[in-house]
Amino acid sequence: MKRIFAWQTDTSTCHLYRTVFPFEELAKQGWEVHWGAPPLDIKEYDVIVGQRITGYNNLWRDLAHDYSGLLVLDLDDDLIDVDPANKIPYDIYQPQRLGTVANIEMSDVVTVSTPKLADKIRRIRGNDDVVVLPNCAHPDWIQPN
């Protein structure tokens, strides 16, 4: 059985759309799924998904250099060039910009929420290992017209 871990960095709705709902579907397909803070056995997972790992991060760097599984960085927003008018996110993410770019460059794959963000990340990475995964709504929330 394949094992996948999502390194959860928030508990907001985007965590539901980007981690919980997709991972619930993977579990239905036979995957062993976990999310939360990085466990001690993190390197034993087949896939590690880092949700919004921003700034310089020693564990992410270590995984990029010494992990045999697939290391995926998931970004649902442009956390590199935040609009200064959006003051609180700008103050949080702009000082972390260079570390976030480094995380993008050292990941095996980067998943993003929109084609526009994918184009930007491809310009940074210089390759096609960028995949658009739209936000996932829970199946019970989808109502036919």
Domains located in the chain, CATH noted: 3-139 (3.40.50.2000)
Q: What is the DSSP letter of 16?
A: I
Nearest to 50 by CA among 68, 71, 31: 71
Element of type H or E holding 24:
helix 21-28
Please give the average per-residue pLDDT across 106-120, as a whole number: 96
Q: Average pLDDT of the chain?
A: 92
Percent of the chain with pLDDT over 90: 78
pLDDT of residue 139: 65
**Using one digit for the tens of pLDDT, what is the confidence trace for 115-141?**
999 999 999 998 879 999 887 776 676
Gap between the Cα atoms of 88 and 16, Å rounded: 22
Confidence bin at 95 (pLDDT 50/70/90): very high
